[in-house]
């Protein structure tokens, strides 16, 4: 598949936002972090959600009709995501306001709890958009959901470390440790899905595509000399070397590099910001690869211009 | 199985790869309810545009024992269309009365998700109108009562010089398409995804020279 930047920016940013919110909500229940830390985190989370939502509009041919996408929640995971994302944004904003106006803790916990449910639902919707398509075999796996969840929460946790430096220095150590551990788990699971996908055998073949049982079938003409939607949307057309370079770079940037900065970077604000920035760059590369790796069976029909 | 399911049956044994169905499809649908269908740089370096139907050519076997197969491909109007439930707006739907899979161009937001969900590459996002388009089985033509009955057929079927394209109701066992499927080994493309395409293909046959 051709990587779609709008969707890459949507999924990576909302993933980090979801992770950050989950963390802050849990901290606010079990510890009592200063109000500033909670407020800053909610604001950053909301900012990322808004920025992700804006990016997603660039994916649409007719963005002015986007509201229609909320109507098919009974059957479409995309429609469900379209409902859950703004609902989650609203609850994060409300939670932040309750904390800001120092409402009773009971109320904020209830509101935050609803936000947590929406947050988890959003992870499921986003992952299922990809995992529900049976013939995109690289995506058709529970690992797709697990990866979206782990990479999102890990990046959210990494993001919380520089925020803690600003608003709640006592937490820097434990948060950095948590970010380190979660990134390690996310990294390991992502490697597991790479291993799984490397072993996949495509179920569709030339023989099943045109229905002629013969081991050697070659396309001589796809029916046109120029390009079409089919030749643009489903092929990334990048050299193998680049695709492999992207894979190695995200494997380094998701865990080893930020882990080193978190643990042995000297503990300054700048190194923690760098840790998040580099991990996020790794996430962008990871999501790019996620698309590039998926082989759509329609490509069997578009092998040769003439 | 009682309701109607309109479909095409494509006879690979007689298709000669002339592309008459491609051009007549483009011509009819450019002006019909699905139109206009984009065309960009038609005579330039990188021509591109929206087509509902393509004729492709495959070579089967190893030289010198090869066979050339011309293979027309358009939306198969699947009985279990994976492109329909994923649509977030309801723009993609399957008509209850005749099984045609259609897009409501006024509702489509051009997200492209249905094209991801079609294993056959039958859907194209129109680069000018930014909505999803695909074969309509010439719905505006086959239902037009102002046309004489013999003309109420898809444009591609009317244009085919070798009669490689049959049109009818595959749920009616006595229709020309059902008989062709039954008697001449009609088959579905990519059965592994259980989309149950309504359109089917008739295989090539060996004919011994009679002299
Ligand atoms: S061929 Fe593709 S677009 Fe047509 S009904 Fe089947 S899945 Fe949908
Ligand atoms: S491109 Fe249009 S028809 Fe296809 S899924 Fe999106 S809204 Fe539905």
- Closest residue by CA, ligand 1 atom 4: B75
Q: Which atom of ligand 2 is nearest to the CA of B112?
A: 1
* pLDDT, tens digit, 9 for 90 and up, residues A134-164: 999 999 999 999 999 999 999 999 999 999 9
> Predicted confidence band at B1 (pLDDT cuts at 50, 70, 90)?
low
Query: Rounded to whole angstroms, how far apart are CA atoms A80 and A14?
Result: 15
Helices (H), A58-141: 77-100, 105-131
Query: How far, rounded to the nearest angstrom, does the alpha carbon of residue B190 sit from its chain's CA centroid?
Result: 15
- Closest residue by CA, ligand 2 atom 6: B111
Write out chain A residues lying below 8 Å of B49, CB-based.
Answer: 228
* pLDDT, tens digit, 9 for 90 and up, residues B62-74: 999 999 999 999 9
Predicted confidence at residue A195, as pLDDT, reads 98
Cβ pair A132:B22 closer than 8 A = no
Q: Which domains can be identified in chain A, with CATH numbers?
A: 5-199+234-300 (1.20.1630.10)
Q: Is B113 in the pocket of ligand 2 (CB under 6 A)?
A: yes
Q: Is B132 in the pocket of ligand 2 (CB under 6 A)?
A: yes
Mean pLDDT over B109-136 rounds to 97
Write out chain A residues lying below 8 Å of B127, CB-based.
Answer: 229
Predicted confidence at residue B211, as pLDDT, reads 72
Cβ pair A228:B131 closer than 8 A = no
Predicted confidence at residue A241, as pLDDT, reads 97
From ligand 1's centre to the CA of A299, what distance in Å? 15
Predicted confidence at residue A266, as pLDDT, reads 84
pLDDT reading at B204 higher than 90: yes
Instruction: Pick B56's closest partner by Cβ from A63, A69, A221.
Output: A221
From ligand 1's centre to the CA of B83, what distance in Å? 6
Cβ pair A68:B88 closer than 8 A = yes
What are the residue ranges in chain A where pLDDT is below 70?
Answer: none
Residue located via tokens 């049109």: B167
Cβ pair B91:A70 closer than 8 A = no
Q: What are phi and psi of B132, to 5 degrees?
A: -80, 140
- Closest residue by CA, ligand 1 atom 6: B78
* pLDDT, tens digit, 9 for 90 and up, residues B21-59: 999 999 999 988 888 999 999 898 889 999 999 999 999
> Cα distance from B146 to chain A (closest Cα, Å)?
34
> Cα distance from A54 to chain B (closest Cα, Å)?
14
Q: Are A102 and A34 in contact (CB under 8 A)?
A: no
Ligand nearest to the CA of A70: 2
Q: What 3-state class would DSSP assign to A169? A: helix
Distances (CA, A) of A303 to A77, A113, B53, B67, B170: 31, 51, 17, 18, 31
Nearest CA in chain A to B112: A60
- Closest C-alpha to A151, from A5, A40, A251, A268: A251
Predicted confidence at residue A303, as pLDDT, reads 96
* pLDDT, tens digit, 9 for 90 and up, residues B91-120: 999 999 999 999 999 999 999 999 999 999
Predicted confidence at residue A105, as pLDDT, reads 85
Cβ pair A133:B130 closer than 8 A = no
* pLDDT, tens digit, 9 for 90 and up, residues B136-192: 999 999 999 999 999 999 999 999 999 999 999 999 999 999 999 999 999 999 999
Name the β-bridge partners of B125.
B132
Q: Are A69 and A53 in contact (CB under 8 A)?
A: no
What is the interface pTM, i.e. ipTM, of the complex? 0.95
Query: How far, rounded to the nearest angstrom, does the alpha carbon of residue A3 sit from its chain's CA centroid?
Result: 13
Distances (CA, A) of B144 to A201, B21, B100, B147, B149: 47, 20, 15, 6, 9
Q: Are B186 and B180 in contact (CB under 8 A)?
A: yes
> Cα distance from B39 to chain A (closest Cα, Å)?
10
Write out chain A residues lying below 8 Å of B103, CB-based.
Answer: none
Q: What are phi and psi of B93, to 5 degrees?
A: -150, 160
DSSP labels, A12-55:
HHHHHHHHHHHHHHHHHHHS---HHHHHHHHHHHHHHHHHHHHH
> Predicted confidence band at B2 (pLDDT cuts at 50, 70, 90)?
low
DSSP labels, B161-191:
TT--EEEEETTSTTSHHHHHHHHTT-B-S-G
Predicted confidence at residue A240, as pLDDT, reads 96
Q: What is the pTM of this model?
A: 0.95
Query: Rounded to whole angstroms, how far apart are CA atoms A33 and A24?
Result: 9
Q: Which atom of ligand 2 is nearest to the CA of B109?
A: 7
Query: Rounded to whole angstroms, how far apart are CA atoms B112 and B130?
Result: 10
Q: Is B77 in the pocket of ligand 1 (CB under 6 A)?
A: yes
Q: Are B191 and B178 in contact (CB under 8 A)?
A: no
Predicted confidence at residue A157, as pLDDT, reads 97
Distances (CA, A) of A209 to A214, B12, B166, B171, B202: 11, 14, 20, 24, 14
Q: Is B35 in the pocket of ligand 1 (CB under 6 A)?
A: no
Mutate to test the pocket of ligand 2, among B90, B107, B108 (most ligand atoms within 8 A of CB): B108
Q: Are A305 and A234 in contact (CB under 8 A)?
A: no
């Amino acid at each position: 598949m051709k990587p779609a930047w709008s969707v890459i920016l949507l999924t990576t940013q909302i993933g980090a936002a979801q992770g950050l919110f989950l963390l802050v909500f849990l901290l606010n229940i079990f510890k009592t972090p200063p109000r500033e830390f909670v407020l800053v985190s909610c604001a950053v989370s909301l900012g990322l959600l808004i920025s992700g939502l804006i990016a997603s509009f660039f994916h649409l041919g007719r963005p002015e009709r986007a509201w229609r996408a909320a109507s098919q929640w009974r059957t479409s995971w995309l429609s469900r995501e379209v409902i859950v994302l703004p609902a989650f944004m609203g609850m994060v904003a409300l939670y932040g306001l309750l904390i800001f106006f120092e409402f009773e803790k009971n109320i904020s916990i209830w509101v935050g709890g609803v936000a947590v449910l929406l947050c988890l639902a959003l992870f499921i919707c986003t992952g299922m958009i990809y995992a529900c398509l049976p013939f995109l075999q690289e995506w058709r796996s529970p690992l797709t959901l697990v990866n979206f969840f782990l990479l999102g929460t890990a990046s959210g946790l990494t993001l919380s470390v520089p925020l803690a430096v600003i608003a709640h220095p006592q937490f820097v150590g434990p948060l950095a440790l948590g970010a380190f551990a979660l990134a390690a788990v996310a990294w390991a699971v992502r490697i597991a899905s790479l291993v799984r996908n490397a072993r996949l055998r495509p179920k569709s073949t030339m023989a099943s595509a045109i229905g002629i049982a013969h081991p050697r079938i070659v396309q001589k003409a796809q029916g046109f000399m120029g390009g079409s939607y089919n030749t643009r949307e489903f092929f990334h057309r990048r050299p193998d070397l680049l695709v492999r370079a992207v894979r190695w770079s995200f494997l380094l940037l998701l865990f080893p590099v930020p882990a080193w900065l978190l643990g042995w970077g000297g503990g300054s604000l700048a190194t923690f910001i760098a840790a998040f920035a580099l991990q996020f760059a790794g996430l962008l590369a990871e999501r790019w690869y996620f698309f590039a790796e998926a082989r759509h069976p329609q490509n069997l029909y578009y092998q040769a211009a003439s | 199985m009682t309701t109607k399911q309109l479909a095409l049956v494509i006879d690979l044994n007689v298709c000669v790869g002339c592309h008459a169905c491609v051009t007549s499809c483009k011509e009819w649908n450019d002006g019909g309810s699905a139109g206009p269908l984009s065309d960009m740089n038609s005579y330039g370096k990188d021509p591109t545009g929206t087509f509902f139907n393509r004729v492709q050519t495959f070579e089967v076997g190893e030289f010198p024992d090869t066979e050339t197969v011309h293979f027309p491909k358009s939306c198969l109007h699947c009985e279990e269309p994976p492109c329909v439930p994923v649509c977030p707006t309801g723009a993609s739907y399957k008509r209850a009365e005749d099984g045609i899979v259609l897009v409501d161009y006024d509702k489509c937001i051009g997200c492209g998700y249905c094209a991801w969900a079609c294993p056959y590459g039958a859907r194209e996002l129109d680069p000018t109108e930014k909505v999803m388009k695909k074969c309509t089985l010439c719905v505006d033509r086959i239902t037009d009562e102002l046309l004489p009955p013999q003309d109420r057929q898809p444009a591609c079927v009317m244009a085919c010089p070798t009669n490689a394209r049959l049109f009818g109701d595959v749920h009616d066992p006595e229709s020309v398409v059902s008989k062709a499927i039954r008697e001449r080994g009609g088959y579905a493309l990519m059965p592994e995804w259980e989309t149950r395409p309504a359109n089917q293909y008739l295989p090539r046959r060996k004919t011994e020279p009679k002299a």
